[in-house]
Amino acid sequence: DIFINRTVEYKSNFIINSQIAGVLVHYIDMNDYIGLSCNRGTYPIASVISRIFSQSKSFLETKTLNSQSETAIISSIMLNNLCLGVKTNELIKDKTDCRYYYVCQSNNSKPISYLQCPQYMFFSTKEKTCTHQYSSSLIYIYVYL
């Protein structure tokens, strides 16, 4: 299963629950048709929206309530041990959003900082810095009411 951008998911659920007619995605050319968006596969935004709109409303409400508490518990455990075993200062990419990264310090299991790359850039694990490579993978969705 591909990474689910929570913003897209929440906005799609809002549209469904508000019984709005549909969704308009701006910058459709940035919906990563070649699949380089942080290993999310091709068309990550359209795929998430399509999946959510094809599911029933009651299933979405139940899933949202359950996943919020589960996500909070899992996130807390993962963050507490994210830097475990780091020998020197190290930058670690956020696995849920390639625009962000953590700063880890030796002898500290928790990250000391959570930083965002500048606009239109993403964190490169290989280069250990923010880079413009694959900047077309940054995607924006707008909901017009």
pLDDT digits over 8-61, tens only? 777 777 777 776 666 666 655 555 556 666 666 666 677 777 777 766 444 444
* Whether pLDDT at 81 is above 80: yes
Residue 75, in any domain of the structure? yes
Per the model's pLDDT, the better-predicted residue between 89 and 69 turns out to be: 89
Using CA atoms, how far residue 31 sits from 5, 88, 121, in Å, is 13, 37, 16
* Whether pLDDT at 119 is above 70: yes
| pLDDT value, residue 36 | 63
Residue 67, in any domain of the structure? yes
Average pLDDT, the chain: 69
* Whether pLDDT at 65 is above 50: no
Residue 23, in any domain of the structure? yes
Structural domain for 38, as ranges: 6-137
Residue 76 buriedness (CB in 10 A; 0-12 / 13-18 / 19+): exposed
Overall number of domains in the chain: 1
Whether 3 and 35 have beta carbons less than 8 Å apart is answered as no
Give the whole-angstrom CA distance, residue 12 versus residue 42: 19
Residue 142, in any domain of the structure? no
Token pair in block for residue 60: 């979405």
| pLDDT value, residue 107 | 84
Average pLDDT over residues 108-123: 87
Q: CB within 8 A of 142, min separation 6: which ones?
A: 24, 25, 26
Residue 27, in any domain of the structure? yes
Residue 145, in any domain of the structure? no
Instruction: Output the CA angle 27-30-36, nearest 5 degrees.
Output: 170
Residue 143, in any domain of the structure? no
Residue 55, in any domain of the structure? yes
Whether 7 and 141 have beta carbons less than 8 Å apart is answered as yes
Per the model's pLDDT, the better-predicted residue between 48 and 2 turns out to be: 48
| pLDDT value, residue 3 | 43
Helix residue ranges, H only, 22-124:
44-54, 57-80
| pLDDT value, residue 134 | 52
